[in-house]
A and B are shown apart, each in its own frame.
Chain A
Amino acid sequence: MGVAILFLPLLSFFLVSIFGKIIGTKGSCYFTTINMFFSFIFSAVLFFNNYFCIKTYTYFIWLDSQLLNVTWNFTFDSLAVGMFLVVTCVSFFVHVYSIEYMSGDPHQTRFMSYLSLFTFFMLFLVSAGNYLQLFLGWEGVGLASYLLINFWFTRLQANKSALKAVFVNRFGDFFLGMSLIIIFYCFKTLDFSIIFSLVHHFNVIEYNFCGFTLNLINVAALFLFLGAVGKSAQLGLHTWLPDAMEGPTPVSALIHAATMVTAGVFTLIRSSPILEYSDVLPIIAVVGSFTALFGASVAVFQNDLKKIIAYSTCSQLGYMIFACGLSQYSVAFFHLFNHAFFKALLFLTAGSIIHALSDEQDIRKMGGLGRLLPFSYLMFLIGSLALAGLPFISGFYSKDAILELAASSTFSYGYFCFVMGAASAFLTAFYSIRTIVLVFYVRPGGLKSSYVTCHEPNYFMTLPLASLCLLSIFSGFIFKDVFIGFGTDFWINSIYTISLNTTVSESEFLPVAYKLIPLVITFLAFLVAFLVYSTNLYKFVTEKLYVSNLQFFLNKKWYFDSVYNYYFSSSFYSFSKNLMFKDIDRGLVEIFGSFGLAKFSGNLSSFVSSNLQSGYLFNYIQLFITGLLVFFISIFFYEFYVNFELISSTIIFYLILTKKNNV
């Protein structure tokens, strides 16, 4: 059944992409959706089945070359089935949603097939039993994200964004590949079960690299984390995530809320034994907390609805990452779980708003939609409250758990993470309310024609929203004890924490003030944002000079994009074009490779044949006699050594002499 979960989406991808014209648009939609529904059911069943046991399936051999022995094995342990549940649930809802959302698009068949392909690769990544399969899923997810962002490929911005996503992800993929190599070098295998049982013994291996003695586990963990930085859009390699909003909204909901960007977090959680025995956890925590603050701060002054939600995803990913950095993998996973639901809800609601206003994405041109689109307003409100961490909604359980653990952590960087997390909680609440106010409360700022024709979507779009809404309210409470309950036996073997890093019970005895701080600042942010944006106060504030500088800084994403463009893009481009392509690919490789060899042998043979075969009888006579005499002379010299240079020099001597063709 586990493998059926994996291969149903793949089957639907193949059938729909090949036979899409025959099945028709509606047929392909329903086919993929039904397949995804079955995947979802199976994964729910698997989730309950695998509560007590881990299943690992090993199939046939993939690579078998002396030391490297990789088989196709899928492991359905607790982490995997948890992720299955998330991925298939969100994917199913997105499929249902996009039946209606993309119904006017002539390429809807292709869209549905790509969604199924993406789901397959994500499930493949999640259920991987060795690092090579994980890498395969990783790359496949990157491919599918390129295809989906570039869905409307005639649009230039979509092309650029997709390429940007691919390039920036490539950095991460390179680092992940390097970590694969180092893991293989260290452990001589890529199998999870073997590696994770042996990490403890390999902690002391030193490796000499350019004069530095490195601990290989550290290096492997660092590269794993850098791969996660690329995929999960942490600070430094985050630039692709906002631009990936060029794709259709269901794509954003599926990829950039729930699944692809959580692949990096998943990898870190999966490699928890390696991370635990390394020294990179502080780095992870610090980078994650910076990302959390960055994402939230940039989202405050964005004007595009989807970009706000994208930056909020970036910020929440930072939360997850720094929870991993504090060795609290189960809490990170729980936040991933909840975040998937409410972020998907937010994205899909944004999609329905955009759809209702005939593709208007700028929130300055929206407003007053509270009365016109009450259902969307309700969904967006619930999603935002879940995001902001209102008590007892799902976001509260995971987010506040993270903040408590950060505050009570015994590490020096724990407190730093708490402060950054609290600041970003403030900003999260701030921009959530800002968005709601600007979209639903304020005076309308758009065209009258779009307001006249705005309507609520039909059942295909509203039912997923409703289900996600229910899930995002209740999933926190329902699954709290399963994932982060004290003494839960859900994570049997999937997550490993060394005893030094186990800090579960310290957070229970935290001073109440620390527990209340996130709550208080959330409400404060609600108030401030409401006041600022629903009255004319913001005009007064933003016209001051320093606030507008801050606005620009935050709106331009801390000038990351400009800096990258200015310093790196042109040099990379000229490097790759001039050095790599012109000098090496078209130069070195062609000269010393097969093309140059063919050309050289052609030239040589034409030189030889045009000079040897002049057509003149006299030259041929000379050749005969030369050959004859070489034979005789070699017989005469039979007791001496006749070497190759002698013969070849005579031939070349003759060739050069007969260059002139007249007798």
Chain B
Amino acid sequence: MRVQFLQEPPFIFYFMIFFETLIKILMLFLGLAVINARNPVYSVLSLILLFLLSAILLIYLGVSFIGMVFLVVYIGAVSVLFLFVVMMLNIRHAELTSSELYYLPVNGLLFLIPLSIEFYQYFKNYSRPFNDPDIMSVDYLKLLTSLPDSEVLGAMLYGFEFGFSVLLAALILLVAMIGSIVLTQNFRNDVKKQDMFSQLSSAFTTSINIYSIKPKT
């Protein structure tokens, strides 16, 4: 990776490069750790860290709203779900099975081909903010006419343009909630339960039958 400077950049740009590279390497290793960790708890922990790093990255890039949403939703909801499931279920340690080795060529191919294409495209064009010659001037017009990202998002979400998508997203969440409850319902037979509706709707006329019995002589 060659970095070209037209002028001598300020010191902060080196920090920026270091920060960005660090984040990238950490995310890469965390991603691998999610899959290959020995303990399921370790893999969930790596997942949480991955989400955290991506939130940091997004805030670093200036979109603070989306970063905070990542924090709240991804880490606060999804990872918690994973943690609950990992703790509830008894997950065994699995060794490398022979069938995985059998499928390794195919899977390796399926993984390596896009990777190589990706690297080929990556090394074709590599852009830096430093290639811009005018780096010391401030674009006041851009500053004045730009809105913060949360306001932009709010205008789009609750306006006419994408309001419908919000409703759909809400519907999806509703379905997910109902679905997860229904799927994990546990009907236990050995517990006494009360059926309130039938209790409240019992009346004199339906619950007592009067018979007249004559004794046999």
Contacts and interface: CB of A to CB of B under 8 A. Distances in A.
Whether chain A touches chain B in the assembled complex (some CB pair under 8 Å): yes
B106 A657 contact: yes
Interface in A402-421: none
Interface in A601-655: 622, 625-626, 629, 632-633, 636, 654
A629 B99 contact: no
Given A622-B106, A657-B106, A632 B114 contact: yes
Contacts of B103: 622, 663
B101 to A, nearest CB: 12
Contacts of A629: 110, 113-114
A371 interface: no
Contacts of B99: 662-663
A626 B114 contact: no
A662 B100 CA distance: 10
Contacts of A660: 102
Contacts of B121: 636
Nearest to B106: A657
Interface residues of B, number: 10
A663 B107 CA distance: 12
A633 to B, nearest CB: 7
B138 interface: no
B113 A633 contact: yes
Contact of A636 (B106, B107, B110, B117): B117
Contact of B117 (A633, A654, A662, A663): A633
A622 B103 CA distance: 10
Given A633-B117, A636-B117, A626 B110 contact: yes
Contacts of B113: 629, 633
Nearest to A637: B117
B114 to A, nearest CB: 6
Nearest to B98: A662
A663 B97 CA distance: 9
Contacts of B106: 622, 654, 657
B120 to A, nearest CB: 9
A660 B106 CA distance: 13
A625 B113 CA distance: 12
A654 B107 CA distance: 11
A654 B99 CA distance: 16
A316 B128 CA distance: 113
Interface string B90-108: 0000000001001100110
A625 B117 contact: no
A229 to B, nearest CB: 74
Given A660-B102, A663-B99, A633 B110 contact: no
Contacts of B102: 660
A633 B114 CA distance: 7
A663 B99 CA distance: 5
A288 to B, nearest CB: 83
A663 B106 CA distance: 13
Interface string A199-214: 0000000000000000
A654 B103 CA distance: 11
Interface in B72-105: 99, 102-103
A563 to B, nearest CB: 72
A662 B101 CA distance: 12
A636 B102 CA distance: 29
A625 B112 CA distance: 13
Nearest to B105: A657
Nearest to B100: A663
B96 to A, nearest CB: 13
A633 B112 CA distance: 12
B106 to A, nearest CB: 6
Contacts of B107: 622
Contacts of A622: 103, 106-107, 110
B52 to A, nearest CB: 27
B92 to A, nearest CB: 16
A122 to B, nearest CB: 77
Contacts of A654: 106
A507 to B, nearest CB: 99
Nearest to B117: A636
A650 to B, nearest CB: 10
Contacts of A636: 117, 121
Nearest to B97: A663
A409 B103 CA distance: 97
Contacts of B110: 622, 625-626, 629
Contacts of A662: 99
A626 B109 CA distance: 10
A304 B52 CA distance: 114
B21 to A, nearest CB: 26
A632 B121 CA distance: 13
Contacts of A663: 99, 103
Contacts of A657: 106
A657 B104 CA distance: 12
Contacts of A626: 110
Nearest to A635: B117
Contacts of A632: 114, 117
B25 to A, nearest CB: 25
B157 to A, nearest CB: 30
B190 to A, nearest CB: 33
B38 to A, nearest CB: 21
A633 B121 CA distance: 12
B121 to A, nearest CB: 8
A488 to B, nearest CB: 97
Interface in B92-149: 99, 102-103, 106-107, 110, 113-114, 117, 121
A662 B98 CA distance: 10
A617 to B, nearest CB: 13
A46 B113 CA distance: 93
Nearest to A636: B117
A662 B99 CA distance: 7
Nearest to B107: A622
A538 B117 CA distance: 111
Interface string B168-188: 000000000000000000000
A663 B102 CA distance: 9
Contacts of A625: 110
A630 to B, nearest CB: 10
A626 B114 CA distance: 11
Nearest to A632: B114
A632 B114 CA distance: 8
A102 to B, nearest CB: 82
B117 to A, nearest CB: 5
Nearest to A662: B99
Contacts of B117: 632-633, 636
Nearest to A625: B110
A194 to B, nearest CB: 74
A654 B114 CA distance: 17
A654 B110 CA distance: 11
A413 to B, nearest CB: 87
Interface string A450-469: 00000000000000000000
Interface of B: 99, 102-103, 106-107, 110, 113-114, 117, 121
Given A622-B110, A629-B113, A662-B99, 8 more contacts: A625-B110, A629-B114, A632-B114, A633-B117, A636-B117, A636-B121, A657-B106, A663-B103
Nearest 6 interchain pairs by C-beta: A663-B99, A636-B117, A657-B106, A625-B110, A629-B114, A662-B99
6 contacts: A626-B110, A629-B114, A633-B113, A636-B121, A662-B99, A663-B103
